Amino acid sequence: MLIKVQIIVGVLSIILLLITFELIRKKRLREEYAILWLFTGIVVLVFSLWPAFFLSQFFVKMTGIFYLSAVVLIAFFFLLLIVFHFSVVISKLTGQNKDLAQQYALLELEFKEWKKRYLPPSSTPS
Amino acid sequence: MGTEEKILVIVPAYNEEGSVGKVVEEVHIHLPQAEVLVVNDGSTDLTSEIAKSKGAIVLNLPFNLGIGGAMQTGYQYAYEKGYDIAIQVDGDGQHDPKEIGKLLKGLAEKKIDIAIGSRFIVDSGYKSSVMRRVGISVFSKVISTIARQKITDPTSGFRAASRKAIQIFATEYPQDYPEPEALVLLHQCQLKIGEVPVAMSERYSGESSITKIRSIYYMVKVLLAIFVDCFKKPPLLEQER
Categorize the per-residue pLDDT at A5 as very low, low, confident or very high, splitting at 50, 70 and 90.
confident
ipTM > 0.90 for the complex: no
Residue B64 has pLDDT above 50, yes or no: yes
- Structure confidence by residue, pLDDT tens digits, B73-106: 999 999 999 999 999 999 888 888 989 999 999 9
Q: Which CATH number does the domain housing residue B166 bear?
A: 3.90.550.10
Q: How big is the A-B interface in CB pairs under 8 Å?
A: 35
B239 domain residue, yes or no? no
The pLDDT assigned to B126 comes to: 61
User: Which of A101, A108, A109 is facing B63, going by the closest CB pair?
Assistant: A101
Categorize the per-residue pLDDT at A30 as very low, low, confident or very high, splitting at 50, 70 and 90.
confident
The pLDDT assigned to B140 comes to: 92
- pTM of the predicted model over 0.90: no
The pLDDT assigned to A103 comes to: 95
- How far off is chain B from A38, nearest CA to CA, in Å? 34
- How far off is chain B from A30, nearest CA to CA, in Å? 26
B164 domain residue, yes or no? yes
Q: Which residue has the higher pLDDT, B192 or B207?
A: B192
Count of domains for chain B: 1
Nearest to B62 by CA among B83, B84, B81, B39: B39
**CB B65 within 8 Å of CB B42:** yes
b/e sequence B82-107, b meaning 16+ C-beta within 10 Å: ebbbbbbbbbbbbbbbebbebbbebb
Contact B59 A106 (CB under 8 A): yes
B236 domain residue, yes or no? no
B186 domain residue, yes or no? yes
- Structure confidence by residue, pLDDT tens digits, B193-225: 999 998 886 554 444 555 677 778 888 888 988
Hey, what amino acid is at B213?
Answer: I
Q: What is the mean pLDDT of residues A19-45?
A: 86
Categorize the per-residue pLDDT at B11 as very low, low, confident or very high, splitting at 50, 70 and 90.
very high
Poorest-confidence range of A30-34, A115-119, B48-52?
Answer: A30-34
Range of the domain at B73: 7-229
B155 domain residue, yes or no? yes
